[in-house]
Amino acid sequence: MPADALQPFGPVAEAQDALWDLAYPIAIGVFVLVFAGLAYILVRFRDKGQEELPVQTHGNTRLEIVWTIIPALILVVIAIPTVQTIFDLAREPDPDSLIIDVVGKQYWWEFRYEEAGIWTASELHIPTGRDIYIRLDGSEPGNTTVYGQPPVMHSFWVPSLAGKRDYVPGAIREMRIQADEPGVYPGNCAEFCGLSHANMRFTVIAHSPEDYEAWVASQQEPALLAQDELVQQGQELFVSGACIGCHNITGHPDVDPDAPSRVGPDLTHFAAREAFAGYIFDSPFGEQVEDPDQAMENLRAWIRNSSAIKPGSHMPATQVDGAPVDGEQLDAIIAYLATLE
Amino acid sequence: MTAIAENPSTGTLPRRRGIFPRPTKTTGALSWLTTVDHKKIGIMYGIGALIFFVVGGLEALLIRAQLATPNGEVLSADLYNQVFTMHGLTMIFFVVMPLGAAFINYLLPLQLGARDVAFPRINAVSLWIWVVAGLFVYSSFFFEGAPNGSWVSYFPQALVGPDPAGNLASDAVAIQQSRMLFYSMGLQIAGVASLASAVNFVTTVLNMRAPGMTLMRMPVFSWMSFVTAFLLLFAMPVIGIALWQMMFQIRFAGPFFDPLNGGDPVLWEHMFWLFGHPEVYIMILPAFGIVSEILPVFSRKPLFGYSAIVFSGIAIGFLGWGVWAHHMFTAGLGPVADSAFGIATMLIAVPTGIKIFNWLGTMWGGQIRFTTPMLFAIGLVSMFTIGGLSGVTHSLVPHDTQQHDTYYVVAHFHYVLFGGALFGLFGGIYFWFPKAFGRLLNERIGKLHFWSMLIGFNLTFAPMHLLGLNGMPRRYYTYADGMGWNFWNAVVSIGSLVIALSFAIFVINIIVSRNNPPAGADPWDARSVEWLTSSPPPVHNFDDIPVISDNDELWYRKYASTSDEDAPVRVAAGGSDDENPGGPYGDRVSGKTAKELGIHMPDPSWFPLLLSLGLPIAAYGVFFEDRITMTAFFAVGGILTFGSMLGWALEPSAEEDH
């Protein structure tokens, strides 16, 4: 699916696009008029070496009034639907709309489904045909500070579904999106937020209402406990490698179920995602992965030292007992991650 | 102030002594450092701006090298952020603004029929402060790196930096503080220069006009300079305060924009854009003025609707203050604010439309000579039209949330500031070059310059509209393959090389034109009085101050017309008495020196240069956490600045003749 602002796939983007469809032909019309007029003038009134100088006309009040009033009238025609659309899109959420809290971090998005009690990273799943109310919640900046620094601005943008809205630390911003058809809609951060601003992508995955319910149910399941030995080892390394300090895995024996909040992405269903690291690398476990070997290499490199492959990433290089993670330990951790479906 | 001694030989004032011997030379390399002549200052502004244009252009080429292909690896993310930030800062504060200032400095007194600006030494101090501000900002590359938060430097990103985890370096916070202090203090210093110039230009226009030059007989370029000066006068304090707050926020943990301390990042956006939007008109209005001078000359007609053009310029100046929040339509200000600022933005299209139509009206019925300045002026009219139309689409607030922070916006403002302002300014360079240097630039090379710049410009910026609407955000140091952005990015990068080539052609033109024959006082058959005096003009501008009776004064000294319906006919030099009831205005080449004429110009001075040097020294003090070092820098810088002010105050503007 292309990220094209002029190809709307939902009513919000359509309302925005309708204004473009109104104004664009007018703009083209004015453009053609001015350029045709200019071309005519340049050809007709070019210096032909004539003896007599042109008449020194200083202006024409009637003409000037006309070309003041006509543009003003055109702008009135554009202004009325613009203001209507502004107020229409700013209305309060419907009682049956789905409210999703969105938190922007350096450099990934967290999506919080408060009602369902699930958190996802960089993948926003929504039901089709339903009004989705996005709450860009920066109201408690203390919750998202990293290394004692305030969180920064981001901007949430899914071109096919709606225009962007800024994530403002210290405040709540709201917007609506809605998808008509199931599909995968690319999104990205549009407010300069640091080194990996370009690497802060996400997708909106629209499901039919039934599929969406099934997805919610699957996400609400806690992760399975480790069965075989390698996975068991990975589950333990998740604690000794300090991963658990930042990443929640609901169902992990060392996670307090009452305080699951973490600064890093929730990994309870990591293997069910299509991508990782701000949606810039395919997940080796995803269904649409193009090159699984490359994806696995990326994941290994990511766990070893994330900022080496994504500039400015806050995830520290993984260490076990003070030494860089070795190959066998990586195998175990990845084997464990693969079970998190 | 210009002093015209009644009788130089019998001055009665006691001679006052400066701190050290006063420079007296008006020629030679040293004279440029101490000059207070508005013409030399204007030329230095122009040369400085063109040097910075080369630097900013090289930064643009680096940006385009990085983005020419997906997953580019020319620059690191950190370096890319510094380069695009410096590109923006350079082009705005050290190229387009000062190039406009170069024309205002050089031309305003000449067009007004004045001997100099109102405050010649303040004029010099503006130049030198601007120069040291540029050097100060660029000195950041020798310390912890250049500012990296884009030219808008939104909070809290400006505070946090790209990398709070410190993966780049262990002292990431200190590095970020240093970079943003270069931004804050550098622009602060540059702002002092603009503010001083603004006061100077407003006073010059109000007080220094030649006899008979009413405001409505003032050339349009002077009018636009006047409006620009007012915009500067009110916009610079706003950004000055914001930058001061930024400095306290970053260096002394102030609360202003930090959400953890009860500050509000949106406050920075408001303050920045309350300056930032008028700034757009500060950059474009001088170019509008230049075009309004060029089009009539090469159409051999007066400006169509002079008063409409003047008043639309004033209207743009006023409305420019009421639209700042259209840069913040995605910030979530609410539907009432969004509607109000959307409508105000649409309104600006009306006066700009009036200007475009009046320029077309000027050419209508004329005898258009396609000289290089005329081509650039036509380039402005056409390219700015495109920028204006995409500007109107930004006022469709809901759709603007799709356009905002994408390459569509980058395309728009380059059509306004490059296709508009820079085309106009280059036109101005070709137009007034013979006045300033006595020789015309080569027309053939000039046309080559124009066409290569026009093609390169459109190749570079037209595809950006498509990239933006296809979802490519700006300020991305890289982009993935398969987004559909590869082809147009490659085209854009090729276009940027063509622009670089066109500038090289311009430089060649300057070099080869050194030996062109003298241009004479009035090579273009022009209309305003700066063409009355010799090329280049004498230090005192005019031997006899012209008396003005029309806003195309020079034209009506050369041509007489009996009515609006008849074509004018050429009359003998000296003016036609029927058009100028005051009678003939005397011999314009008297052959006498200024001294013989009793004209006394302000003398050169060291103090403007010395004063400006104090500011960056004091600013460097902010970088030191150690109080003693900080205080030492403040003291040295302060003594230099305030000591120079004292010396300046004790030094008379002009020495008596002996």
What are the tens digits of pLDDT across the range B299-318?
999 999 999 999 999 999 99
* Structure tokens, B531: 């063409």
pLDDT category at B580 given cuts 50, 70, 90 is: very low
Q: Enumerate the residues of chain B whose CB falls inside 8 A of the CB of residue A158.
A: none
Share of chain B above pLDDT 70, in %: 90
- DSSP letters spanning B166-204: -SS-TTHHHHHHHHHHHHHHHHHHHHHHHHHHHHHHHHH
Residue B343, chain A, CB below 8 Å: the answer is yes
User: What is the rounded average pLDDT of the residues B79-101?
Assistant: 97
> In this structure, are residues A177 and A158 in contact, taking their beta carbons and an 8 Å threshold?
yes
ipTM over 0.90: yes
Surface of A (83-102) touching B: CB under 8 A:
83, 85-87, 89-90
> In this structure, are residues B444 and B546 in contact, taking their beta carbons and an 8 Å threshold?
no
Q: Which amino acid is at A74?
A: I
Quote the DSSP letter at residue B518.
B
Contact criterion met (CB < 8 Å) for A197 and B569: no
Residues A314, B161: Cα–Cα separation, whole Å: 13
Q: In the prediction, which pLDDT does A55 show? A: 87
Residues 6+ apart with CB under 8 A from B370: A46, A47, B298
Surface of B (377-416) touching A: CB under 8 A:
378, 381-382, 385-386, 389-390, 392-393, 395-406
B21-25, B146-150, B166-170: segment of lowest average pLDDT: B166-170
B163-172, B425-434, B561-570: segment of lowest average pLDDT: B561-570
SS3 A155: strand
Contact criterion met (CB < 8 Å) for B156 and A90: no
Residue B497: half-sphere exposure toward Cβ, Cα within 13 Å: 7
Q: In the prediction, which pLDDT does B657 show? A: 57
Q: Is B203 exposed, middle or buried (0-12, 13-18, 19+ CB in 10 A)?
A: middle
Q: Enumerate the residues of chain B whose CB falls inside 8 A of the CB of residue A68.
A: 350, 353-354
Question: Using alpha carbons only, what angle is made at residue B322 by residues B279 and A162, rounded to the nearest 5 degrees?
Answer: 95
Residue B486, chain A, CB below 8 Å: the answer is no
C-alpha B517, offset from chain centre: 30
In angstroms, what CA-CA distances link B147 with A154, B150, B162? 19, 8, 11
Residues of chain A with pLDDT under 70: 1-2, 142-144, 146-147
In angstroms, what CA-CA distances link B163 with A314, B71, B293? 8, 21, 50
* Structure tokens, B418: 């490059």
Would the pLDDT of B451 be above 90? Answer: yes
Residue B28: Cβ within 10 Å count: 7
Residues B469, B491: Cα–Cα separation, whole Å: 16
Surface of B (186-205) touching A: CB under 8 A:
none
Q: In the prediction, which pLDDT does B596 show? A: 66
Contact criterion met (CB < 8 Å) for A75 and B364: no
pLDDT category at B573 given cuts 50, 70, 90 is: very low
What are the tens digits of pLDDT across the range B272-287?
999 999 999 999 999 9
Q: Enumerate the residues of chain B whose CB falls inside 8 A of the CB of residue A52.
A: 567
B100-104, B123-127, B541-545: segment of lowest average pLDDT: B541-545
Q: In the prediction, which pLDDT does B168 show? A: 66
Dihedral of the alpha carbons of A279, A282, A283, A288, in degrees to the nearest 10: 110
Residues B392, B343: Cα–Cα separation, whole Å: 10
> In this structure, are residues A224 and A251 in contact, taking their beta carbons and an 8 Å threshold?
yes
Q: Enumerate the residues of chain B whose CB falls inside 8 A of the CB of residue A188.
A: 471, 473
> In this structure, are residues A103 and A137 in contact, taking their beta carbons and an 8 Å threshold?
yes
Residue B597: Cβ within 10 Å count: 15
Residue A73, chain B, CB below 8 Å: the answer is no
> In this structure, are residues A73 and B381 in contact, taking their beta carbons and an 8 Å threshold?
no
Q: In the prediction, which pLDDT does B582 show? A: 36
pLDDT category at B578 given cuts 50, 70, 90 is: very low
What are the tens digits of pLDDT across the range B330-374?
999 999 999 999 999 999 999 999 999 999 999 999 999 999 999
Residues A1, B59: Cα–Cα separation, whole Å: 34
Q: In the prediction, which pLDDT does B561 show? A: 67
Q: In the prediction, which pLDDT does B592 show? A: 59
Residue A14, chain B, CB below 8 Å: the answer is no
Q: In the prediction, which pLDDT does B52 show? A: 98
Q: In the prediction, which pLDDT does B543 show? A: 84
Q: In the prediction, which pLDDT does B161 show? A: 79
Contact criterion met (CB < 8 Å) for B393 and A190: no
User: What is the rounded average pLDDT of the residues B69-79?
Assistant: 94
In angstroms, what CA-CA distances link B5 with B16, B25, B525, B651? 17, 21, 35, 18
Surface of A (140-179) touching B: CB under 8 A:
141-142, 145-147, 149-153, 155, 157, 159, 162-166, 168-171, 173-175
Q: Is the peptide bond before B585 cis (omega within 30 degrees of 0)?
A: no
Q: In the prediction, which pLDDT does B18 show? A: 57
Q: What is the mean pLDDT of chain B?
A: 90
SS3 B130: helix
Residues A27, A16: Cα–Cα separation, whole Å: 17
Q: In the prediction, which pLDDT does A37 show? A: 97
pLDDT category at B602 given cuts 50, 70, 90 is: confident
Residues 6+ apart with CB under 8 A from A297: none
Q: In the prediction, which pLDDT does A3 show? A: 76
Quote the DSSP letter at residue A124.
E
Would the pLDDT of B111 be above 90? Answer: yes
Residue A39, chain B, CB below 8 Å: the answer is no
Q: Which amino acid is at B657?
A: D
Contact criterion met (CB < 8 Å) for B260 and A145: yes
Q: In the prediction, which pLDDT does B425 show? A: 98
SS3 A119: strand
User: What is the rounded average pLDDT of the residues B539-553?
Assistant: 88
Taking alpha carbons only, the member of A297, A270, A301, A307 closest to residue A286 is: A270
Strand partners, A176: A133
Q: In the prediction, which pLDDT does B478 show? A: 95
Q: Which amino acid is at B500?
A: A
Contact criterion met (CB < 8 Å) for A280 and B480: yes
In angstroms, what CA-CA distances link B238 with B130, B154, B273, B575? 18, 16, 9, 48
What are the tens digits of pLDDT across the range B465-483?
999 999 999 999 999 998 8
Q: In the prediction, which pLDDT does A2 show? A: 65
Q: Where is pLDDT greater, at A182 or B650?
A: A182
> In this structure, are residues B506 and B426 in contact, taking their beta carbons and an 8 Å threshold?
yes
Query: Searching chain B, which residue's CA lies closest to the CA of residue A18?
Result: B399
Query: Considering Cα of B643, then B646, then B651, then B652, what sign does the dihedral take?
Result: positive
Q: In the prediction, which pLDDT does B585 show? A: 37
Q: Is B252 exposed, middle or buried (0-12, 13-18, 19+ CB in 10 A)?
A: exposed
Query: Searching chain B, which residue's CA lies closest to the CA of residue A81?
Result: B396
Cross-sheet strand order for the sheet of A201-207: A123-127, A201-207, A183-189, A154-158, A162-167
Q: In the prediction, which pLDDT does B565 show? A: 65
Q: In the prediction, which pLDDT does B465 show? A: 97
